[in-house]
Structure 1
Amino acid sequence: MAITNINAITSDNVDVDQILQTVHEEILQYAEKLKQISMYMFENPELAFKEVKAHDCLVKFLKQEGFEVDEHFHLATSFKATFKHGEGGHTFGLNSELDALPGIGHACGHPLIAIAGVATLLGLRKAMLRYNIAGRIILLGTPAEETGGGKLKLLQANAYEGMDVCMMVHPGQSQVGQASISPTLAVQSFEVEFHGVSTENHYCCKQIFRLTTNKKPAHAAGAPWDGINALDAATMAYASINAMRQQLHPSDRVHGIIVNGGEAPNIIPKFTSMKYFLRATTAAGMERVKEKVMPCFEAAALATGCTHSVKFNDLLTDIRNCKPIGELFSETMSTMFNIHTVQRYHDWSGGGLSTDFGNITYAMPSCHPFYGIPCDPKRMNHTAEFEQNARADKSHEETWKVATGMAAVALKLFRDPSFSKEVSDTAVESPRSILMYHQAREWWEKDMRGDFMP
């Protein structure tokens, strides 16, 4: 069965299927080398902004392959690899994630994401040279996805400048033979401290916060009435949030820990700190969650006589997948590999994943498909079982397929002006910037109106 939807990309007599077959065959030629890189990353997991071994391994390979590489692109463990052929043309962006999780290593499959980007770059280079297809490819090595918002930092440093379309793929959330394109939750972390000095709040959709409390110390047995118990404030806030959950929207998420609860049982704590994550369906919806959550900390401080401060980290927005890109990727996966892709673009109907790639989708036409690897559906991403399954030969084989799917999007972008226009026209219908709060709120109200109603 021919992929008729992208036949327009060729202006000569070369069939599109033949071009994509060239891409896939080239990827398979590099399969063993790419798997060696992946397994090296699995065996050497590194946390956010410390991905030195992964960075150096990928950079060394890309330079050996003759690509133009900026080794430390805005961040110490980021890189930019570029390939260009011909004059003019569009620019297609790729992402290779590098970081691991504390304690369970690469339990989110980032080594597979890393080599998927490299595989697509290699396959496209072969096809562009063989069939004289003009265009430019940029592959970014992106650190600190799990914590730190590496892509947002790169976006703020203009690292994505010049890209017309950007993609990445992610293992998980599906079984072998399946893929999915769906929204993720916006997330923001914050830190709360109970103390006597207030600090400015910084709002940015993934948000993290930490709560810290400073209080007057006292002996817990000798003169407890002379103390102000910061731990009381922290536990009261924690309990208040738990009680408040029944008033949250079913898609909202609030989860946190007490980071510092005191120094000794016989000393009334004068200082406590907490760290929380907030998640919502959109960046605009995050404000609704904050309106529910933040009074819990204010009330706890008031009730115990503490003062408190809140520091918000950067907001990581929800994913806004570009539909024309997703549809082309899905058709390619179906036609070439008999992989069915579930497509949901503005319908959040379950799951609680978040990623810093969401900010990229607000900045340019983008798509972030998930793909299946062998794994127990109940032991998906962020489990030790998933980390082991991601190492399997079959997981790597599925990665070569989705890398070819991304290449199909790049080829159509390079050779079909109507596709480029369709992508651009679709993109402007969505909120393009996290600063466009009111437009984002309109999207949220449109998406969520009537959802979860009896």
Structure 2
Amino acid sequence: MLEAGAFDGIHAAMMVHPATKEYADHHTRALVGLRASYTGRTAHSAAAPHEGINAGDAATVAQVAIGLLRQQLLPGALVHGIVTKGGEAANSIPGAAELLYDARANSVKELAEVKKQLIVCFEAGAVATGASLHITEETREFSGFRNDQPMVGFYQANAESLGRRFDDEPLEKRLSEAASTDMANVSLAIPSIHPVIRVEAHGASNHQPEFARWCASEDADKAALEGGAAMAWTAIDLALDTTERRRLITVGESSGPGAEAADF
């Protein structure tokens, strides 16, 4: 959407996301998603295993390599994924297998190194088994999020006036728990904020089924309404503040999807 011009003429962007904590600014990791597809040769596992090329084994070798790689990853970097295809029957050597993995890092620059390491692990599976390998970028690269601090200040003041209370944790701890978002790319093009708003989830956390159920609660409805109101009031504040209005107009006219991402 960004590259297609959907944000052209837009001078600011905001959204809130449910969470178990509450922050007006949002720190995220850079991310890229890769799919590794192995092609081998199917054969009967008992009658003619020597005629097969085990694509499932290629995926296994890659996963072992990734597990060993984790000790040498850059601080803050993460690699995690799943097997999306591994075979059809126990008595048949799989001729096809697929892995879907995400790589994350503290910046786009560091992500490039982690991505390179992940690809080498995928290649190890192919080399070890003789299977062929095809790698595709499943998730477009996300940068880290660039918070617009004046907007953060307006949002926090407005949310606090509604009774919202923000967590105060060391930045190091927050970065250690950081996820990723495609809105980070938008934040490099135009001034943006992406606050997270607390939902009482009774011990559950994001991406757990229990958390999804609590997001349909009265407390979650209240959080969504108050987050929406705080963003609306922030938009009003930005429009009424002469200095901020001029700044956003100027920045909006000079920025775009090619904004520098190396440090985010």
Same fold (TM over 0.5): yes
- Of 440, 444, 451, the residue aligned with 2:261 is 440
* Displacement of 1:184: 1.3
Q: What SS class does the counterpart of residue 2 from structure 2 fall into?
A: helix
- Partner residue, 1:243: 68
Partners of 1:434 and 1:239 in 2: CA distance = 37
Q: Deviations over 1:109-150 (max 9, x none)?
A: xxxxxxxxxxxxxxxxxxxxxxxxxxxxxxxxxxxxxxxxxx
Taking a change above 3 Å as real, the CA distance of residues 163 and 342 of structure 1, as seen in their structure-2 partners, is farther
Partners of 2:188 and 2:169 in 1: CA distance = 19
- Partner residue, 1:320: 146
Partners of 1:183 and 1:424 in 2: CA distance = 25
Amino acid in the other structure paired with 1:236: V
Q: What SS class does the counterpart of residue 80 from structure 2 fall into?
A: strand
Q: Does 1:311 align with 2:136?
A: yes
- Of 29, 32, 35, the residue aligned with 1:188 is 32
- Partner residue, 1:75: none
Q: Does 1:258 align with 2:79?
A: no
1:20-419 alignment, distance < 5 Å: 154-174=1-21, 178-193=22-37, 213-313=38-138, 314-337=140-163, 339-340=165-166, 342=168, 349-376=175-202, 378-419=203-244
Partners of 1:293 and 1:281 in 2: CA distance = 16
State the Cα RMSD in Å.
Answer: 2.8
Report the TM-score, using the length of structure 2 for normalisation: 0.88
* Displacement of 1:261: 1.2
Q: Deviations over 1:153-173 (max 9, x none)?
A: x22332222111110111113
- Partner residue, 1:66: none
Q: What SS class does the counterpart of residue 141 from structure 2 fall into?
A: coil
Partners of 1:184 and 1:279 in 2: CA distance = 9
How many aligned residue pairs are there?
263
Amino acid in the other structure paired with 1:323: Q
Greater CA radius of gyration, 1 or 2?
Answer: 1
Taking a change above 3 Å as real, the CA distance of residues 343 and 372 of structure 1, as seen in their structure-2 partners, is same
Partners of 1:409 and 1:363 in 2: CA distance = 19
Amino acid in the other structure paired with 1:244: L
Q: What SS class does the counterpart of residue 324 from structure 1 fall into?
A: helix
| Greater Cα offset, 155-164 or 335-344 | 335-344
Taking a change above 3 Å as real, the CA distance of residues 388 and 345 of structure 1, as seen in their structure-2 partners, is same
5+ unaligned residues in a row in structure 2: which ranges? none
Report if aligned partners of 1:326, 1:343 keep a CA contact under 8 Å in 2: no
Identity across matched positions, percent: 29
Partners of 2:245 and 2:90 in 1: CA distance = 64
Partners of 1:371 and 1:362 in 2: CA distance = 22
Amino acid in the other structure paired with 1:292: Q
Partners of 2:172 and 2:6 in 1: CA distance = 27
Q: What SS class does the counterpart of residue 115 from structure 2 fall into?
A: helix
Taking a change above 3 Å as real, the CA distance of residues 346 and 410 of structure 1, as seen in their structure-2 partners, is farther
Report if aligned partners of 1:330, 1:341 keep a CA contact under 8 Å in 2: no
Q: What SS class does the counterpart of residue 391 from structure 1 fall into?
A: coil
Amino acid in the other structure paired with 1:394: D
* Displacement of 1:324: 0.8
Amino acid in the other structure paired with 1:358: A
Report the TM-score, using the length of structure 1 for normalisation: 0.53
Q: Deviations over 1:77-103 (max 9, x none)?
A: xxxxxxxxxxxxxxxxxxxxxxxxxxx
- Partner residue, 1:124: none
Amino acid in the other structure paired with 1:227: G
* Displacement of 1:343: 8.9
Amino acid in the other structure paired with 2:112: E
Partners of 1:290 and 1:228 in 2: CA distance = 27
Partners of 1:228 and 1:383 in 2: CA distance = 37
* Displacement of 1:301: 0.8
Taking a change above 3 Å as real, the CA distance of residues 434 and 295 of structure 1, as seen in their structure-2 partners, is farther
